[in-house]
Structure 1
Amino acid sequence: MSSLLFGPWGWVILGLVLIGGEVLAPGIFLLWLGLAALLTGAVVGLVDLGWQAAALVFAGFSLVAVFAGRLLTRRKDEEPDPATGLNDRGRRLIGRVFRLEATMTGGEGRIRIDDSSWRVTGPELLAGSEVRVVRVDGATLVVEKA
């Protein structure tokens, strides 16, 4: 019985259960642990290891798999495509020129973009002045005189 639990088939079953858990509760984390368990099953099948050594192999494969998975998924998730500005409307506005709705007082004002009014910060300018968006600070656009 213990050879089944700690043998190569036990690791393969654990890997398949973890990958199945990823399907039921997606989050990408269980996928990497499942792959590490499958690799551990392959190693235990090739080299007769005790359960303690197999657990250490699993821990090592888990660390490598999780870090590799993080590197693979980070680039897509953390940086929106600057060309499309998808999910980052403010970034699409950088470099564009707009007219102030009202005179900027205290370094703050508003501009109208399509059907929205945006808060802006920058130099004191009169209403109707053209301003260029230079960066985004949260929901506020930072502008300069165009």
Structure 2
Amino acid sequence: MLAKIIAELGPWSWWVAGLVLLAAEMIVPGFFLVWIGLAALIVGALSLLFWDSAFWVWELQAILFALLAVATTFAGRRLTLRNATTDEPFLNQRGASLVGRTATLHEPIREGRGRIRLDDTLWQVMGPDLPVGTQVKVVSSNGRDLTVEPI
């Protein structure tokens, strides 16, 4: 079926496929189909150049399209995600968003480890040995543990 469509439409079949994929990108969010559409347009451009060549068979076109689709998708994702900035830099990094806050020790810090209560959560903390009730400031976060120092 693919061979028949390519044979009937000629090199324009890839142009049609590319434009359909680019149009679908406007409907489907995600910035993904644009790279596959670009691969189809590249194969379409090559088809215009090599259509009368004996080696330019539909199998080669399909393989080239598949390889270009993978290559353009990886390259495009790499380009678009390289300098991705966000308006929520601490999203899913709750510990990092607590740096600078103050709290009272819920459990004493013994041998460098203790607990504080911030909002509705008990957090494990690291710092110098301190008794319960000491006011501390969160100075850093390394995942699930917070580093504190006395105020």
Q: Normalized against structure 1, the TM-score is what?
A: 0.72
Aligned length: 136
Match of 2:108 in 1: 104
Q: 1:135 aligns with which of 138, 141, 147?
A: 141
1:29 corresponds in structure 2 to 32
Query: Does the CA contact (< 8 Å) of 1:19 and 1:30 recur in 2?
Result: yes
Whichever of the two has the greater Rg, that structure is 2
Equivalent AA in structure 2 for residue 72 of structure 1: L
Deviation at 1:134, TM superposition (A): 1.9
Alpha-carbon separation, structure 2, partners of 1:90 and 1:64: 37
Taking only the aligned residue pairs, the percentage that are identical comes to: 29
SS state at 2:107 partner:
coil
Distance 1:43 1:33 in 2: 15
- Displacement over 6 Å in runs of 4+: none
RMSD across aligned positions (CA) = 2.8
Are 1:85 and 1:91, in contact at CA under 8 Å, matched by a contact in 2? no
- The alignment's TM-score, normalised by the length of structure 2, stands at 0.70
- Unaligned 5+ segments in structure 2 are none
Cα contact 2:14–2:44 (8 A) shared by 1: yes
Aligned partner letter, 1:99: A
Check 1:110–1:21 CA distance in 2 against 1; reply closer, same or farther (3 A cut): same
Counterpart pick for 2:82 among 69, 75, 93: 75
- Contact preservation (8 Å) 2:90, 2:96: no
